[in-house]
Each structure stands twice: as structure tokens, then as C-alpha cells.
Chain A
Amino acid sequence: MKHTRKILSLLLALMLACSLTIVSAGAETVELPRNETLYFAGQQWGSINGWNPLSDDMNNAMGITQDAGGARTIMYETLYMYNMLDGSLTPLIADGDFVWNDAHTEITVKIKPAAKWSDGTPITAQDVAYTFETNVKLGNAKGNGYKPYVESVTAVDDSTVLIKAMLTDAGVAVNPLQLVCFLEECYVVQKAWIQTLEARCSNDTTAMKNDAAEDVVWSGPYTKYFANDQKVVLIRDDNYWGQDASMWGSLPVPKYIAHVIYADNAAGQSALKAGEVDVCQEFIANVQDLWLKDGLPISTYLNEAPYGICVNMPTAWFNLDIPVLQNASVRKAIAMAVDYDAINQNAMTGQSPTFADVPRSCMNPTAGEQATFDHDAVKDLQWVGNDIEGAKALLEAAGIVDSDGDGWREFNGEKITLNSCCPNGWTDWMAAMEIVAAAGKSIGIEITTEFPEWSVYQTIVTATTQTDYDIFMMWTDSATPAQPWGRIRMMMSSEFIGVEGNWSGNWGHYSNARIDEIIKAIPTTTDATELKNLYTEAVQIYLTDVPSFSLMYRPNKFHAVNESVWTNFPDSTDGRNIPPTDCTDGYGIAALYALELVNP
């Protein structure tokens, strides 16, 4: 017994020592001072793989996120910063506004004289050009994504970049809107470092993409400091060029940017409540309870519902490969019967504008997008939802009736049975799909819910054809310079039909020659009236044919802040026009320069 006790205590001590040794690998600093560190949640999931801005596989959300809705410019920088509030582009590496040529086929961008790399060398037009060439050569997401629109990026001289659009046979740019996105979405990477990488990897494209880039040269205000499976920390680069008067005029306030890697939303939100997180990019049900009931110093961009800037619409798509759903009356009847207010209350806990406030279209609720089409012209096509009688009348008129008296309607002599699907665990979507199913029941169409795992769901939804899911949810594009055109294309363009592994849109396989023409015409239309007519017609087609129907409006980035340590976060009433993009994305990074300590 004595022996056993000895052995056991030895074992226990050994285990503890082991665990300490394991976690101690790579130790540098002891603690991050709380009043010098800005903590995040909801951006980084899982551990990072490295810092390579040319790779799509670094899983390094804080360091590398190139998104047309606003690239994350903490460590790497873009030419411009997008502001979703007004659609404006603010120069970052670029000097002043970009200039189109008269034919609208070329953009000229100047580089700021003050812009420098972390090694002190100036950022040049050659860096911009070489980054684009490398992206295309590597076949990464940015290279493949922009190849169809950007013919070339060249350096006219050290500080002048010329971006030429890919032209159609008619000699016009394939899509000028995408050229603008290019300016605010794609990082500029140092040419000299790319060449070092090429040499190290013997020009092997896979090796280049998989390189962790520990020696990378950056241009942003922060750089890598620490990363393991539990957290990732960036440290301010006090030599950052942006403190020049021609840019920010100062350094960002927090010395450290830290993101603890939480297992799930619940863990991140517990930490937010405990004051361990300052900025939380997670959907928080009944977010207002945090300050109204719990009295916590937590706030959102808007002080009242919907609390955030909603810029996209999670949407239910009808599978048009299913015969009964090829009938527009059935589609519209289901859409009319759905109780959208209940979805807003249950799935979004009121954090979405209602469809009475912002009637449905292909546009998000921002003023800019709402102004693109004629609201009166589509008024008669609108529906508010929960219109059971209207939906029933529409079905009756279309001859979709319950002829055998069992309470369910038939189509071609057979009872209509549909399913409504979304990925398991996506609780807000699941709540919405339950309400869609309930709507079906109320108009005599049997709809059952199915919630497969995401890995299964996405394989089926993106397949060339599928008959597994009848009504299913997917997202739509958020605000970018290419919107609302990009979203209309996503919702209705027939170019995505028959594509294997289709992540681009039109998952219900809707086809309409006229909408294809409109989608083609919008990017090259410069006349404002004509553009408005095209957008209006697109909305008319969408509301008439109902290939899909949006269930709610939603922010691209959730933005809840705890002001127990830091304050002066962007607020809708402060007049600063800084978007609520978590102090990191697009022009939202301006917030980092204005933060103040609650207790200095």
C-alpha cells in the first residue's frame, strides 16, 4: 500500500510537470498587460497554420482575411479601405483617389510616398504588380477570383500602378465593379519577400502556398507575436509607416491584439460577459439583455434594434429541379405564408429590420443599396408574410387543391411533400426553417425539416444537381463595391447551373434569359437612370418568379463591445462614419486609433 501511494504521488507529480512542460514550449513573455491589450472573440476558430498572405490555408483570421466586404488590414494592407456604411473607399497604401480612364477600362492608382514595409524599404508599384502575378501563378483564391476581370497589373513607375480590365469582344471591361473590389480586397505583398519565398520553395506553387512564412515582411500596424492552439497574439509595430501625417498621424492605441481560441460561441460570450473579451464578433441572442438586464458595460453599434448594420440576407432557396417547385404559384404561396416577424423574433431575437420596414428585394437594407431601384414599381409584387389566406387563394387559382380531402394539397395527383433544410447546429437558421415548415402546414403543403451536418449539407447544395433538399438555406453576399449587382447574380444567374462544386450562387438552378441579360448589362452601364431601370426590373423578376426568398436581414460582422477596459468604440451617433466591423476590417480599423482606456 505504501508503495502504491508512493508510485501514485510520483505519477501525479510527473503528469503535472509534463503538462507544464508541454504548454511552456516557446515561452517569451509572462502576461499581456490588460490595459495594453484588445481582446477579440468570434474571429479566429481553431489554431493558425502560419502567416503567409499568399496562402488560402493559414486559417489565420486575425492576420489574413481578404474580404470584399472589407479586408482585415492589421498586419497586411490593401490599396484602399472599404466602408460599408457609405460604400466609400479610403486610401491606405494608395495616395488619393484612383482614376478611371475615359473608356472605363483602366484604373490608375498612386502609392503613398510614406508607405513602407516593416524592413524600412518603400512600398512600390512593383510590389502591387508582382503580388497580382504571383496570386495568378499560385492559383490561390485571389488569383483565380480576379483573373477573369483583371487583365494585368503593371508598374508605370515606382509609385504608379496601372490596372487593366479584362475586355469583352466588344472592347468594354468585363466587369468594372470587380476592379474596384480588387483595390480594397487584395493585400499588397513585398516583391522581395515573394522572391525569397520562390527561391526557398524552388518555385513550387504548392510549397509556396504551404509555407508558414515566419520570415514574412508586412506593412500593417501589427505583426505576429505569439500563437499556439489556445491563442494568437499580435504586437504593435512601433515603426509602422502609418503614423506619418499623410495616413493616420499616430499609432493604433492597443499594444497587443489578442484572440483566445474558444471552442464555441458560448465560451466566447461567457468571456465577453466576464470582461475577458473587448470585441465580440458573434451573434448574441437578445444582446440587449446584457446591458438592460445584466447591467454589463456591453454595447452595440446601434443602441436599439436591430443593434447592428444588416448587410446581407440569409435566404431560403427553392430547388427548381423538383417538379412541384417549378410552379411559381407554389413558390410564392409558401413565401407568402411564412411568418417573417416570428423568424425575426425567434431566430434573430429582433436583430433584423422587419420586411415591413425594409420591403424585400435583392438589396440589403443600407440606404445606398435601397436607392438603386424604384420602390413604387415593385410595390404590388411585395408580400409581408403570414398571409395564409392570400397564399391559399394563389394556390386555388393555380389549381393546386386538396382533391382527396386529407387536408394536404396535391400536385399532378400526388400529395405535395417537401423538406426544408439547413445545417445542423446553425440554430438561427434551424429556427427559421421550422417556421417555414409551419407555414407549409397552414396552407396544406406538408413540409418537414431536416438538419444534416454541414459537411454533408454543403456537398449536396453545391452539387451540379440534387433532389435531396427541396427548400434549403444559404447566404447571400454582404456589402461590397460590386453590390447589389453581385447579389442579384448570386440569386438568379443561370451561369452557375451545371457547375460542379458551385459555391457561387443560384443553388436552386433558376433560369431566366432576361435576368441573365440584365446581369450582364449592369456592370458596364454608366447612365444612372438606365442603371436604376435595370435594377428595378431585376427586383420585379425576383419578386414575380420567387426563385428564393430572404428570411431575415443580417450583419456581415457582429460587433458587440465590452467597455470595462477600452472605450470610444464606433457608435452610430458619434458622427465619425467608422463602420462596426470589429475595429479590424476595411475602414473599421480606424477605430483602433481612437480607442481610449476607461481607467488610464
Chain B
Amino acid sequence: MKGYRKYFGKKILWLVITFIAALLLNFTLPRMMPGDPVAAMTAKQAQGLSEASAVKAIYDNYAREFGTNKPITQQFFTYVVNLMHGDMGTSFSQYPRKVSNIIGNAIGWTLALQFPAIIIGWLIGNLLGALAAYIRKGFDKVLMPITLFLSSIPAFGMAVMLLVVFAINLKVAPISGGYGFDMLPNFSWNFVVSVIQHYQLPFWSIVLVSIGGQAVGMRSMSIYELNADYVKYARFLGIKDRRVVGYVFRNAMLPQVTGLALSIGTMVGGALVAEIIFSYPGLGTTIYQGITMADYPLISGTTLIITVMVLIATFVLDIIYGFIDPRVKAAQFD
């Protein structure tokens, strides 16, 4: 038990250090982008204004309000202090909306789309990969090219293909949005059906692409493990095939679990493509908009979410590893 405590203590310490470093980068990197977001905000008001002094007044007003006229160190400390109060700041591009409000409205959609898609893609992919390795022959010959093909299609390519085939040509799926264009959110059967219909294409565009990658990885790992000495030895001992296969996949699974944890951690960022192509509500479009508009608070806010999720995912992973693989547990005690 003492070993565990020491191990986790160390892990948490590193977690905190990483978090602080990430926070610093989250704050400074967006601000190093060229371009002046306050000028962009002014631009929205200034079009049609012919008086230069009037434009200048608007600009100064915003600069004062956002504190962009203050030194960057002072801006950072203000940011950290606000963050401690749960305030991620005010968005430039959607002023006067709070970043936390924007993220709060969008993140539910992203999680609801990405989380099931990642899990299902991972499960199906690994199952297919494992089967291909175990059954081989015809199954492998058909499956491998298909999974290779799927994994080589970029996410946006898959999304556009599905959109063109199913929504535009076959007209069996809606083109865009999170629910019907003529609907207002409510608890009704029609609305639920509409949400599910709109969910299909973005969901499958993510699942199909991830199936490919997972299956290829799992197949290679399984083949490697199936030829390992311990498998041969177990077979010589006459241990049932079923049991042997159980060991094999447990070992082959390890890198796959890492992949799963990381993709859950980075899912907010990964949502970008599917959400943009299907005009699906969520954080992906928010991040994209933040970047194109040089909206520092919004970029910092969304990247902070990603950072925290990755940190949590890797931390949880470390714990889970100990349970899945006794060798890791042993190492942890050392």
C-alpha cells in the first residue's frame, strides 16, 4: 500500500507540474498569433462608419475592457485569478458572452457525439482486428484491405463522402444541424427521432475511421502475441485454446487501451471535422471559430478543457494499467 501511495503521490506531483506548464502555454501561445482580435471586434462595428475618430473610440473602448493594452504578465495573472473563480474570461468573437457559457452550451453535444463514437469504434475495431488475427484465412484477406482503406481515409474525407452519398444523393439523412431545421428543442417523440436522425452521419463518420485504425493495430499486436513463446508453451501444456486466446488478447490490448484513453482525452479537439462538415453543434466549431478570429480567451478555454481531459485520461490510465497488467503493477511497487 505504501508503494501505491508513493507512486500516486509522484504521479499527482507530475500532473500538477504538467498542468501549470500547460496553463502557461495555453495562455501565451494564442497570444503569439499575429493579428489583433480587438481590431477584428472593432471591424464588425466599424463597417459603414465613415468617421475615423469614431472607429478609434470603439477600438480604445474594447482594448480597455479586455485589458489588451496592459502588459502580458499582468494579463496572465488576471487570467489565473479569474480562472480560480471559475471565470474563463469573456469571448472576443462572441462578446459579451462568457467563455464558460459558450463551452457549457457546446460541450454536451460534443461529448454525446464523440464519447459513444470513440467507444464503439474502439470496440468494433479491436474485435475485428482480433478476429482477423485469430481466424486469418478468408476473413483476414477481406477484412484487412477494408480496414486499411477505412483507416487511410482522412476524417473530413469520410464525413464529406457520407454527406454526399446519404444526405445529398440518397436523401436518407439530414444535411446539417443537431435536429430538424423546423424544430424547437422539446421533450417529444418527434424531437428525439430528429436528434437521432441527425446524429447518424456525424457518428458513423467518426466510427468508421476509427474502426480502421484500431483493427489494423489490434491485428498486428495479436499476431505478435499469438506467436509468442508463452502461447506455444501453454499449448504444449494442453491448456484450452479459449483460455490461451484470453491471455493473448489481454496482452495485445495494452497499447490499444492507451490509444483509447488518449482519444477520449483529445476527443474535444477531434470533434472539429465532423462538427464543421455537418454543421453539428459542439465544441469543434467553437474552437475553429476561436482560432480564425484570434479569440484568445476562447482558445485558452477550450485548450484548457482538452489539457485537463488528457491529464485525467492519462492519470486514470496509469491506475487501470496496474489492474490489467500485473507487470506494470510490479513496476509501480519498485
Contacts and interface: CB of A to CB of B under 8 A. Distances in A.
Interface of A: 8, 11-12, 15-16, 18-20, 22-32, 34, 37, 39, 46-47, 49, 56-57, 59, 67-69, 139-141, 144-145, 147-148, 178, 206, 209-210, 226, 228-231, 233, 258, 260, 262-264, 267, 270-271, 274, 276, 452-459, 462, 477, 482, 486, 489-490, 495-496, 499-505
Contacts of B61: 139
Interface in B91-130: 93-97, 105-106, 108-109, 111-113, 115-116, 119, 123
B253 interface: no
Contacts of A496: 52
Contact of A68 (B48, B105, B111, B180): B48
Most buried by A among B34, B176, B187: B176
Given A32-B182, A459-B36, A270 B55 contact: no
Contacts of B44: 56
Contacts of B197: none
A210 B65 CA distance: 12
Contacts of A147: 51, 54
Interface stretch (B140-148, B227-235, B287-295, B311-319): B287-295
B58 A495 contact: no
A504 B55 contact: yes
B81 interface: no
B190 interface: yes
Closest 3 CB pairs of A and B: A19-B112, A144-B54, A503-B46
A501 B185 contact: no
B60 to A, nearest CB: 9
B37 A455 contact: yes
B50 interface: yes
Contacts of A233: 184
Given A263-B276, A459-B39, A504-B51, A144 B57 contact: yes
Contacts of B277: 263
B112 A16 contact: yes
B39 A271 contact: no
Contacts of A26: 185
B113 to A, nearest CB: 8
A34 B49 CA distance: 38
Contact of B175 (A258, A264, A267): A267
B109 A19 contact: yes
A311 to B, nearest CB: 13
Given A148-B51, A501-B39, 14 more contacts: A8-B119, A31-B183, A46-B289, A178-B50, A270-B168, A270-B176, A276-B182, A458-B35, A458-B39, A459-B35, A462-B39, A477-B48, A503-B49, A504-B52
Contact of B58 (A56, A210, A226, A502): A56
Given A46-B289, A144-B57, A454-B292, A22 B52 contact: no
Contacts of A453: 35, 292, 294
A456 B39 CA distance: 10
A24 B185 contact: yes
11 contacts: A19-B111, A31-B183, A68-B48, A144-B49, A145-B50, A206-B65, A263-B176, A263-B285, A276-B175, A455-B40, A503-B47
A585 to B, nearest CB: 13
Interface string B289-324: 100111000000000000000000000000000000
B266 interface: no
A20 B119 contact: no
Nearest to B40: A455
Contacts of A18: 108, 111-112
A468 to B, nearest CB: 10
A141 B46 contact: yes
A276 B279 CA distance: 14
B195 interface: yes
Given A31-B180, A210-B96, A141 B175 contact: no
A28 B184 contact: yes
Q: B-side binding surface: helix, strand, loop or mixed?
A: helix
Contacts of B45: 56, 140-141
A32 B184 CA distance: 7
Contact of A260 (B96, B177, B292): B177
A79 to B, nearest CB: 18
A144 B181 contact: no
B179 A23 contact: yes
Contacts of B167: 270
Contact of A504 (B49, B108, B115, B182): B49
A431 to B, nearest CB: 20
Nearest to A21: B108
A15 B185 contact: no
Contacts of B119: 8, 11-12
Contact of A57 (B95, B106, B115): B95
Given A141-B58, A260-B181, A24 B36 contact: no
Contacts of B112: 15-16, 18-19, 22
Nearest to B277: A263
A172 to B, nearest CB: 18
B48 to A, nearest CB: 6
A111 B142 CA distance: 79
Contacts of A145: 48-51, 54
B111 A499 contact: no
A426 to B, nearest CB: 12
B186 A28 contact: yes
Nearest to A452: B34
Contacts of A210: 96
B323 to A, nearest CB: 13
B188 interface: yes
A459 B34 contact: yes
Nearest to A270: B175
B251 interface: no
B29 to A, nearest CB: 15
B11 interface: no
Most buried by A among B48, B95, B105: B48
B10 to A, nearest CB: 30
